[in-house]
Structure 1
Amino acid sequence: MSDNCDRVIDLIDLPEWGRVVPMVGVEPFCVVDEADRPVEPVRRFLRDLVAQGCSAATIRSYAFALLRWWRFLRAVEVEWSKACPAEARDFVLWLQRTSKRRRLPRTDSAMTAGTVNPITRKRFQDDSYMVATIRHSNAVVRSFYVFWIERGEGPLVNPVVLARGRGRRPHAHHNPSESFRPEGRLRYNPPAPKRRPRAMPDELWEQLFTAMRSDRDRAILALAVSTGARAGELLGMRGVDLDWGDQLIQVRRKGTRAPQWLPASPEAFVWLRLHVEEIGGVGADAPVWQTLRRRARDGGLPGRVPLNYEALRAVLRRANGLLGTNWTMHDLRHTCALRMIRDARLSLRDVQTILGHAHLTTTETYLVEDDLEVIRRVRDYLAGRDEPLTLPGDATTPYRAEDLTVLFGPAGR
């Protein structure tokens, strides 16, 4: 196993090779080369993920991660079947030191990239690869090689190796009658920062809600902040997913795609009713969220099309530009979760069910106190301490002679 320590990381330049394209068939997405031919090792791996029940969004995410890995191997001139831990290490170093390529240069966001918004206290994204992206890339590449090593192809050792603590050999005293347990974290995984969820303050929520220009956008935000549903889950709703009598909405959960009914606030259903009346009603199989396309692609009359995620992001981007903020739809999910956590009428198990968390430990991350909420309570405490103290009696009243006699004794002694 070679360990190329002479490779200059800063000189590695990934070629514009290949792309991820949607497919018609078993695999929803695939990686193709410069001649638009599918990269066969990647295609077979993605096909296996489809058989495991992974969603199209997961397949797309894995395809882009493997395309980046394939471009790196071409830049360092190493075949995918001959990659070793040195390539995985250098790949992580390259991700940590490089910036993403942009199709168009930044314009208005050039001044704020990488800075912290003074209103939301959130960091603006820049062009560097985030820690979560690097960790996800390592997980994808490792699972890719696990797939091929199980079939007796590819390298003998997985390039994305596991960390070895205290010099111990993995499974040194393993009982053959028991199954193997996970060996530990990946060696070249950067530590994940602990992000503390924050609730959107009520006054900032009102500003964001007021900045919406249509009943549709107001309804989406009101449902998100009252149900905690993710943006993709809300956008997938259809007419059959609305229960007007009990004020419930049905969403398909991320990953499992399992249907779940969620209670929504009466206010959210008011805006939802206004939106449905505006578009002339929603059929049982029709999408709830629709937008007006000003010019049809086929040259026909304008018509309504389902609202997609990019269009919803554009709505928030316009509102953020107006307010000077950088809110996302996921901030509304955090706000809903923290509001429910602070309500004594709801248990932690109730919150877990509404948020759709598979494990209670995920919900427990919302038990951490929000910094802004702590600051607000301490300010209320300090404001109460600033009240003037009332002294007993009048400080200008002279002492009585008999009191001084008791204290100091008779005069002349």
Structure 2
Amino acid sequence: MDTLPLVEGRGRPSGLSGATAQGVSVRVQQRLQEDGSTLVELLDEDGTPVEVVAGFLRFLGARDCSPNTLIAYAYDLRHLWRFFASRGLSWERFGPPDAIALLEYLRSVPSRRPRRRMTLSVVTMAADGPATKLAGSTVNRILAAVSSFYEYAILSGLLERANPIEKRPDPALLYVSERHRPFMGRASRQRPVRRAVRVKTVQRVPRPLDDGQVELLLGQLRGLRDRAIVLLMLHGGLRPGEVLGLHLDDLAYGRRRVVVRHRDDHPKGVRSKSRVERVVDLHETATLAAVSAYVMNERPDDADTRLVFLIGGRGTRRLEALGYDGLVRMFSRACTRAGIREPWVTPHALRHTHATAMWEGGMRELTLQKRLGHASPESTRLYTQVSDPAVVADYHRALDALGKPVEGRS
């Protein structure tokens, strides 16, 4: 079996509580197996796979979770095992009181990832210099992963006590309109709960590109392929993985639509996030015209794959499928040339731009949810916070009642 390069985690413990853990080489390893699947393992300080975590990851794999999901869980549990090393604990002895200590520990762990936040960040001192702390959302995700791990241990009979990451009923969530509710409402056995140990986080609104930024970006794209990719995300709201996974058979020029299908056989590991296939209508003529121009004039005609977007040119990687890394590099370089390079300007921001434009244009919430392929209405409601016509209308009525002029309204 071929071994892939090890991917470093999101941060190493430091400070008083994590000093001992820094010397513990608990790490995540990814190995490519003969059948093409990826084996993800958490290795202890002796280089031996942690068996209980291996069982948990096999369980996730049996549920058909993506390799990226398995890798994320492995790195989250690496934090837990480093916490065990700093406290002299084992996973069997970890209890609810230790969950509070775990939260404090995670709040002191430095993150080595480049900062993408546009806000002030808390800095902690690590052994090799200052570093920013893990984001609150990252800490909550790690706690959720730990909770899922212990749910697995209980389900498999390895643990005969309650989940140490305690969950408490929260009836108040029944009355929050923005929350997704069970199909049977209050008659359902699914009760709203909240983890007792968690970090309060900021619910940020999506940041769409303005018209000027979009025009600058489109003006700096080089090649028909790049323009087709960007327009599919900008005018169709497709996710990057959905664009990269398109096959020639998914393009319906006559009906002016593309079909987003769930596939897991992309040679670069690209997957669509949703398992619900959908049809996306594209009635803006420039979009499918750009795709057709690329397929007819620039896409290598000697390719033996049905994937739409390939690497062209004359290099050694010619005819290979375009992957996430290639798309991100293309997008970043175009943004740099356009002078709009910002941490929040990512390929996914094009999807935010499309969704915001559709909402402000009057598309209903349910139809927008279907178009974007959101499983939960909560995800779609984020765009109602960018601009809510009902709020604007009430605001105008209030200004009228106060006798104040409304700018921009005839």
- State the TM-score, normalizing by the size of structure 1: 0.72
1:75 to 60, 83, 86: 86
* 1:226 Cα deviation after fit: 1.0
Aligned residues of 1:228 and 1:336 also touching (Cα < 8 A)? yes
Worse-matched range after superposition: 246-255 or 232-241: 246-255
Q: Which secondary structure does the structure 1 equivalent of 2:167 belong to?
A: coil
Q: Corresponding residue for 2:38?
A: 28
Aligned pairs for 1:300-319 (under 5 A) are: 302-319=317-334
Aligned residues of 2:205 and 2:385 also touching (Cα < 8 A)? yes
Change (3 A) 1:51 1:94: same
Aligned residues of 1:20 and 1:67 also touching (Cα < 8 A)? no
Q: Which secondary structure does the structure 1 equivalent of 2:379 belong to?
A: helix
1:267 to 286, 289, 294: 286
* 1:142 Cα deviation after fit: 0.4
In structure 2, C-alpha distance between the alignment counterparts of 1:133 and 1:189, rounded to whole Å: 11
Aligned residues of 2:241 and 2:273 also touching (Cα < 8 A)? no
Q: Which secondary structure does the structure 2 equivalent of 1:303 belong to?
A: coil
For residues 379-407 of structure 1, the C-alpha deviation after alignment (integer angstroms, 9 at most, x for no partner) is x955899xxxxxxxxxxxxxxxxxxxxxx
2:298 to 260, 278, 282: 278
In structure 2, C-alpha distance between the alignment counterparts of 1:165 and 1:263, rounded to whole Å: 40
Worse-matched range after superposition: 304-313 or 252-261: 252-261
Q: Corresponding residue for 1:148?
A: 153
Change (3 A) 1:47 1:73: same
Q: Corresponding residue for 1:406?
A: none
Say whether residues 1:341 and 2:364 are aligned partners.
no
* 1:321 Cα deviation after fit: 3.2
Same amino acid, percent of matched pairs: 26
In structure 2, C-alpha distance between the alignment counterparts of 1:208 and 1:50, rounded to whole Å: 39
Aligned residues of 1:219 and 1:271 also touching (Cα < 8 A)? yes
Change (3 A) 1:218 1:255: closer
Residue identity opposite 2:162 in structure 1: V
Residue identity opposite 1:144 in structure 2: F
Q: Which secondary structure does the structure 2 equivalent of 1:290 belong to?
A: coil
- When Rg is computed on C-alpha atoms for both structures, the one with the higher figure is 1
Change (3 A) 1:325 1:255: closer
Aligned residues of 2:42 and 2:53 also touching (Cα < 8 A)? no
* 1:306 Cα deviation after fit: 1.2
2:310 to 281, 285, 290: 290
* 1:75 Cα deviation after fit: 3.1
Q: Which secondary structure does the structure 1 equivalent of 2:194 belong to?
A: coil
Say whether residues 1:45 and 2:23 are aligned partners.
no
* 1:256 Cα deviation after fit: 4.4
In structure 2, C-alpha distance between the alignment counterparts of 1:319 and 1:198, rounded to whole Å: 19
In structure 1, C-alpha distance between the alignment counterparts of 2:346 and 2:101, rounded to whole Å: 33
* 1:337 Cα deviation after fit: 0.9
Residue identity opposite 2:329 in structure 1: A
For residues 291-339 of structure 1, the C-alpha deviation after alignment (integer angstroms, 9 at most, x for no partner) is 248764xxxxx52311111222222222333314321122111111111
Aligned residues of 2:170 and 2:194 also touching (Cα < 8 A)? no
| Aligned positions, number | 342
Q: Which secondary structure does the structure 2 equivalent of 1:237 belong to?
A: coil
- State the TM-score, normalizing by the size of structure 2: 0.72
In structure 2, C-alpha distance between the alignment counterparts of 1:268 and 1:153, rounded to whole Å: 54
Q: Corresponding residue for 2:112?
A: 101
Q: Corresponding residue for 1:352?
A: 369
In structure 1, C-alpha distance between the alignment counterparts of 2:21 and 2:191, rounded to whole Å: 35
For residues 10-41 of structure 1, the C-alpha deviation after alignment (integer angstroms, 9 at most, x for no partner) is 64643332223134269733224255543221
Q: Corresponding residue for 1:160?
A: 165
Q: Which secondary structure does the structure 2 equivalent of 1:31 belong to?
A: strand
Change (3 A) 1:228 1:93: same
In structure 2, C-alpha distance between the alignment counterparts of 1:237 and 1:263, rounded to whole Å: 14
In structure 1, C-alpha distance between the alignment counterparts of 2:249 and 2:231, rounded to whole Å: 19
Q: Corresponding residue for 2:268?
A: none
Q: Corresponding residue for 2:73?
A: 62
Change (3 A) 1:98 1:226: same
In structure 1, C-alpha distance between the alignment counterparts of 2:409 and 2:167, rounded to whole Å: 55
Q: Which secondary structure does the structure 2 equivalent of 1:305 belong to?
A: coil
* 1:116 Cα deviation after fit: 5.6
